């Protein structure tokens, strides 16, 4: 499993140019911009996020339309688009998000998903599976509105379809509230070596970040 965290957001965006934007995503509606479509869930779709085991599609958990305690922040993709807002179920094994896609036998695929918490406390413990086999796990950030990412690599073997599932191992009633965005499944993008031009672009971004840190006043 590959994982990258605590990297400046603009550096991550440059590094993933040769991912989401530059490689075909087999997930139909991974950024949720098309709304409540393209996936299935064992959770109930409803705007009110009071009870556990429900979800909605929103641009801001703290808009006042969903839950009085939800933090206010934007989606991961653009800051103004949609995300999947979830109130964690108290029943173990409930599928939060699922989609089945066609794959080529004997091929390697990369998976990624962004996760945030919209209430601090008892963060969700998300598990990621393909065809019933766990390929990764990630505890949602304790700090609300902070997007973290899970990367994983999967080989299809003899399979010609992949059922991708996200479940939550945390069954706490309080807290356990999170959001999903920018779910990706497709040709290798994180695990492959990027083209020289992409390396140069990423290096320039990293250099700019370091120079910015040097110029920052000390406290």
Q: Residue 51 sits in a domain of what CATH number?
A: 2.60.120.260
Q: Is residue 1 part of a domain?
A: no
Looking at residue 189, its pLDDT comes to 75
Task: With respect to residue 147, please indicate whether it lies within any of the assigned structural domains.
Answer: yes
Alpha carbon of 193 to those of 128, 186, 196, 197: distances in Å? 24, 15, 9, 11
Q: Which domain holds residue 125?
A: 9-214
Total domains present in the chain? 1
Query: Of all residues in the chain, what percent carry a pLDDT higher than 90?
Result: 72
Q: How confident is the model at residue 92 (pLDDT cuts 50, 70, 90)?
A: confident
38 pLDDT above the threshold of 60: yes
Say which residue the tokens 């390929």 belong to: 135
**Residue 6 confidence class, pLDDT cut points 50, 70, 90:** very low
User: Could you tell me if 166 and 84 are in contact, meaning their C-beta atoms sit under 8 angstroms apart?
Assistant: no
Q: How confident is the model at residue 203 (pLDDT cuts 50, 70, 90)?
A: low
Tell me how many degrees the CA angle 40-16-88 measures, rounded to the nearest 5.
Answer: 35
Q: Is residue 94 in a domain?
A: yes
Strand ranges, E, within 82-218: 83-87, 95-102, 108-117, 125-130, 133-139, 148-155, 161-168, 177-186
Q: Quote the pLDDT of residue 18.
A: 38
Query: Residues 37-48: what's their mean pLDDT?
Result: 97
Whether the predicted pLDDT of 196 surpasses 60: no
152 is a domain residue: yes
- What's the confidence (pLDDT) of residue 15? 42
Query: How does residue 143 score in pLDDT terms, banded at 50, 70 and 90?
Result: very high
Domain contains 210:
yes
pLDDT at 218 over 50: no
Q: Is 3 part of a structural domain of the chain?
A: no
pLDDT(113) > 80: yes
- Name the residue among 163, 41, 65, 78 with its Cα closest to residue 118: 65
């Amino acid at each position: 499993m590959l994982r990258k965290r605590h990297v400046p957001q603009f550096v991550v965006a440059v590094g993933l140019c040769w991912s989401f934007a530059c490689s075909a995503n087999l997930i139909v509606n991974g950024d949720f911009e098309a709304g409540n479509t393209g996936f299935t869930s064992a959770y109930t779709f409803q705007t009110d996020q009071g009870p556990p085991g429900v979800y909605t599609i929103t641009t801001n958990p703290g808009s006042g339309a969903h839950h009085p305690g939800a933090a206010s922040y934007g989606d991961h993709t653009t800051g103004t688009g949609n995300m999947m807002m979830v109130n964690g179920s108290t029943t173990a094994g409930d599928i939060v998000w699922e989609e089945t896609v066609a794959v080529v036998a004997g091929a390697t695929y990369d998976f990624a998903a962004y996760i945030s918490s919209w209430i601090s406390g008892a963060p969700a413990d998300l598990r990621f599976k393909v065809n019933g086999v766990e390929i990764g796990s990630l505890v949602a950030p304790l700090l609300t509105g902070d997007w973290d990412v899970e990367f994983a690599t999967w080989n299809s073997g003899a399979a010609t379809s992949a059922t991708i599932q996200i479940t939550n191992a945390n069954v706490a009633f309080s807290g356990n509230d999170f959001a999903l965005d920018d779910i990706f499944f497709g040709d290798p993008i994180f695990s492959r070596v990027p083209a020289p031009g992409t390396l140069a672009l990423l290096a320039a971004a990293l250099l700019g970040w370091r120079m910015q840190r040097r110029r920052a006043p000390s406290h």
